[in-house]
Structure 1
Amino acid sequence: MTNVAAIILTSRNPIGVLEGYLAAGFLRPIDDFVRGQQEWISSLTGGNQLRYRNLMAGTQVLRELELEHGVGAAIDLDHPFTIKMLRVHQRKPFLPEMVLSNARTYQSNHRSRMTGEALALQ
């Protein structure tokens, strides 16, 4: 079991942790968790099973975005989790520069479109 999987599984709300990664645009921890936790995933029922399906649908959308715009393009640099992780790992970056560059480029090129979509949902 990876460290990420252990942290997720020991939380009070493992699906919520995964949803947090999705909201911040981090696919790798979700992928790492899913790859090693098939038994836990298959045990989900009811609302948690639905939340997991929605999580997987969301990861697919972000995966397609990254296929088109490069690995890391889905990362939301303004998300509180991302900001915290970048600050904590300032001396030893946890994301390669190429990944950060893809996130910056995508975010700067699509910020107005994303903001307009969010306002339309309100």
Structure 2
Amino acid sequence: MIKDLIGWSDFEKIDLRVGTIINASINEKAKKPAYILEIDFGTIGIKKSSAQITERYKINELIGQQIVAVVNFPPKQIAQTMSECLILGAVDGSDVNLLTLSQTSKNGLKIS
């Protein structure tokens, strides 16, 4: 089912960017299994995200992956981690397939 339609001005408010995962660790304080990711967004800087992607990904597979994330959500406390961005993926229950790039791009590039 498709959600309510939004206007173009609503979409323009979402800041989607390319970033590279530079560090990943287990978020031991999270209620559901999750990783803490550090993502390099180029000139925007490095942001952290707590991501429930443990079903599909091992930590060593994540380092160096280029992902797509929303970078303009307000920070959100998840367990004892401040999540500063929302990585995007296709979700099937608890299985998340990250949105990645087919070719390397510059960190921080806008998605449109």
TM-score normalized by structure 2? 0.25
Structure with higher strand content:
2
TM-score normalized by structure 1? 0.24
Structure with higher helix content:
1
* Greater relative CO, 1 or 2 (CA 8 Å, sep 6+): 2
Larger Rg: 1
